[in-house]
């Protein structure tokens, strides 16, 4: 029989290794819920149209989507990112604005798997709808920053740019197209033929040919209209006021088409450049309307969980363990006592596991050690007959004591302080 394995570009996280995932998630929810964002859940798959509207010309949508016809002949796709789903939900339910939501979930992209790049990966994100205020951009950028810092990602750089808006981007785009066309021969094969379609993407190309052309290209930041320039100034001022350092990166464009004005990326400077993009986001004032909703400004970010864990590893940060067990009940009497004691302790609010199957004391003590439990509570045939429980501190060592069954819950509470 063929051995069953996880698909390429995916992975399992077993309980022994999932502690950091839990800490990352709980830290994120604490930081963003503390700023008024509420959890949103959206489907893992959507009608393909939801994603097509975010950017027909991006690789994520053109080449990397897991799309298929379902058994009802509907053309659906696994979400490659979650902003589009949140926008779809916003348009469908029309909540009162300002509306702030956070999410955590798997995203799917058919990419070539490599370190830090998977086909199913996990993002944490926030989206805020209904305000064009630059102070909201600052809030969003600052929440991501604060989250990374709370986890201990210290080698962190914030890159910032403005992509202009509908009134200044078209003129800039023309300038850029003219410039790129005059250098068409020097561009990489892919971009030489895609200048008109999405000139901003050329700015993002990592190939050396494009890189040298792009170095001399006109920059949006030098061609902002007055409103966009004022907005950008206010964002810079806000970040300075919060003592969040940033670097203006005029070539920073986001992979997805719908961004306007503020755009930003968090880079992990302790990681190799292929995987140093920890997360990013920006304003997408045009997307809600482009997807058929009312004109609604919006801003948000998406952060990659796998990348965060890589950055923590690179910085040798160990996250605090998720609360370990209080006690482990070792049972080699095989009667009702272990079952009942475990239930009493759990009902009293303690975190308790136990041995099963009447395994040997040695194997149960090993399991107790592995569990990280502070106390072992031992029920052998003698204890079962006498109505007592043996108790031993697994962290401090020392002798095993005997406590009557009626007093054991109080004794556990006393020992755990
Ligand atoms: P994007 O939605 O492309 O802006 O990506 C936001 C963040 O998600 C990136 O900065 C990465 O941290 C993460 N990310 C994107 N694609 C992948 C992938 N294939 N595997 C792991 N993380 C990813």
Q: What is the pLDDT of residues 138-183, one digit of tens each?
A: 999 999 999 999 999 999 999 999 999 989 999 999 999 999 999 9
pLDDT reported for residue 104: 98
Mean pLDDT of 294-322: 94
Mean pLDDT of 236-265: 90
Mean pLDDT of 123-148: 98
Whole-number Å distance, alpha carbon 346 to ligand 1 midpoint, is 40
Mean pLDDT of 200-219: 88
- What is the percent of the chain where pLDDT is above 90? 82
Provide the CB-side half-sphere exposure for 112 (13 A, CA).
1
Instruction: Name the residue with the closest Cα to ligand 1, atom 13.
Output: 304
Whole-number Å distance, alpha carbon 406 to ligand 1 midpoint, is 55
Domain borders along the chain are 15-168+224-314, 327-416
Instruction: Name the residue with the closest Cα to ligand 1, atom 12.
Output: 304
- Looking at domain 15-168+224-314, its CATH class is alpha beta
Q: What is the pTM of this model?
A: 0.93
pLDDT reported for residue 19: 93
Provide the CB-side half-sphere exposure for 329 (13 A, CA).
32
376 CB within 6 A, ligand 1: no
Distance, in Å, from the CA atom of 179 to the CA atom of 19, rounded to the nearest integer, reads 51
Are 325 and 351 in contact by the 8 Å Cβ rule? The answer is: yes
Whole-number Å distance, alpha carbon 150 to ligand 1 midpoint, is 21
Q: What atom of ligand 1 comes closest to residue 119's alpha carbon?
A: 19
pLDDT reported for residue 159: 97
Q: What atom of ligand 1 comes closest to residue 266's alpha carbon?
A: 10
Q: Given pLDDT bands bounded at 50, 70 and 90, which one contains residue 59?
A: confident
* pLDDT over threshold 70, residue 90: yes
Mean pLDDT of 116-140: 98
Whether residue 186 is preceded by a cis peptide bond, meaning omega within 30 degrees of 0, is no
278 CB within 6 A, ligand 1: yes
For the chain, how big is the Rg over CA atoms in Å? 27
281 CB within 6 A, ligand 1: no
Distance, in Å, from the CA atom of 66 to the CA atom of 381, rounded to the nearest integer, reads 58
Whole-number Å distance, alpha carbon 149 to ligand 1 midpoint, is 19
Question: Which residues face 391 on adjacent strands?
Answer: 377, 401
51 CB within 6 A, ligand 1: no
Q: Which residues contact 284 (CB under 8 A, 6 or more apart)?
A: 83, 258, 259, 260, 298, 299, 300
Query: How many helices (H) does the chain have, and how many strands (E)?
Result: 16, 16
Q: What atom of ligand 1 comes closest to residue 308's alpha carbon?
A: 12
* pLDDT over threshold 90, residue 255: no
Alpha-carbon 365 to chain mean position: 37
Are 235 and 138 in contact by the 8 Å Cβ rule? The answer is: yes
| Token pair in block for residue 71 | 């058994």
Tokens 């348009």 appear where?
91
Distance, in Å, from the CA atom of 355 to the CA atom of 366, rounded to the nearest integer, reads 10
Phi and psi torsions of 90, nearest 5°:
-60, -45
pLDDT reported for residue 153: 95
Q: What atom of ligand 1 comes closest to residue 277's alpha carbon?
A: 10
Provide the CB-side half-sphere exposure for 65 (13 A, CA).
29
pLDDT reported for residue 257: 61
Q: What atom of ligand 1 comes closest to residue 109's alpha carbon?
A: 19
Distance, in Å, from the CA atom of 246 to the CA atom of 157, rounded to the nearest integer, reads 7
Q: What is the pLDDT of residues 27-57, one digit of tens each?
A: 999 999 999 999 999 999 999 999 988 776 6
Q: Given pLDDT bands bounded at 50, 70 and 90, which one contains residue 203?
A: confident
Q: What atom of ligand 1 comes closest to residue 123's alpha carbon?
A: 8
Whole-number Å distance, alpha carbon 76 to ligand 1 midpoint, is 21
Whole-number Å distance, alpha carbon 303 to ligand 1 midpoint, is 7
pLDDT reported for residue 323: 81
Alpha-carbon 23 to chain mean position: 12
* pLDDT over threshold 90, residue 311: yes
Which CATH architecture does the domain made up of 327-416 adopt?
3-Layer(aba) Sandwich (3.40)
Whole-number Å distance, alpha carbon 56 to ligand 1 midpoint, is 18
Q: What is the pLDDT of residues 374-416, one digit of tens each?
A: 999 999 999 999 999 999 999 999 999 999 999 999 999 999 9
Nearest CA to 125 out of 66, 188, 208, 40 is that of 40
* pLDDT over threshold 70, residue 328: yes
């Amino acid at each position: 029989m063929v051995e069953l394995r996880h698909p390429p570009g995916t992975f399992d996280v077993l309980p022994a290794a999932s502690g950091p995932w839990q800490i990352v998630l709980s830290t994120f929810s604490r930081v963003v819920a503390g700023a008024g964002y509420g959890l949103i859940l959206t489907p893992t798959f959507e009608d393909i149209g939801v994603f097509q509207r975010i950017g027909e010309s991006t690789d994520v949508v053109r080449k990397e989507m897991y799309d298929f016809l379902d058994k009802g002949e509907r053309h659906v796709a696994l979400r490659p990112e979650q902003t589009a789903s949140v926008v779809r939900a916003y348009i469908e339910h029309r909540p009162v604005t300002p509306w702030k939501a956070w999410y955590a979930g798997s995203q799917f992209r058919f990419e070539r798997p490599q370190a830090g790049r998977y086909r199913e990966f996990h993002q944490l994100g926030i989206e805020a709808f209904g305000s064009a205020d630059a102070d909201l951009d600052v809030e969003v950028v600052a929440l991501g920053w604060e989250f990374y810092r709370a986890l201990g990602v210290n080698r962190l750089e914030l890159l910032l740019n403005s992509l202009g808006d509908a009134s200044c981007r078209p003129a800039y785009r023309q300038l850029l197209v003219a410039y790129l066309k005059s250098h068409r021969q020097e561009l990489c094969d892919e971009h030489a033929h895609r200048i008109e379609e999405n000139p901003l993407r050329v700015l993002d190309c990592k190939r050396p040919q494009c890189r040298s052309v792009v170095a001399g290209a006109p920059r949006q930041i030098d061609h902002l209209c007055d409103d966009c320039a004022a907005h950008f100034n206010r964002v810079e001022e806000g970040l300075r006021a919060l003592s969040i350092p940033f670097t203006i990166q005029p070539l920073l464009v986001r992979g997805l088409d719908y961004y306007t004005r503020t755009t930003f990326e968090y880079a992990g400077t302790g990681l190799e450049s292929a995987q140093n993009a920890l997360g990013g986001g920006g304003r997408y004032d045009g997307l809600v309307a482009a997807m058929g909703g009312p004109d609604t400004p919006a801003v948000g970010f998406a952060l990659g969980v796998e990348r965060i864990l890589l950055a923590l590893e690179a910085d040798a940060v160990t996250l605090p363990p998720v609360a370990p067990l209080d006690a482990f009940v070792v049972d080699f009497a095989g009667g009702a006592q272990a079952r009942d004691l475990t239930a009493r302790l759990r009902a009293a609010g303690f975190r308790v596991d136990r041995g099963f199957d009447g395994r040997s004391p040695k194997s149960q003590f090993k399991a107790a050690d592995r569990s990280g439990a502070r106390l072992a509570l031992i029920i052998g045939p003698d204890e079962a007959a006498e109505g007592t429980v043996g108790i031993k501190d697994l962290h401090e060592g020392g002798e095993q004591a005997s406590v009557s069954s009626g007093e054991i819950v109080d004794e556990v509470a006393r020992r755990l302080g």
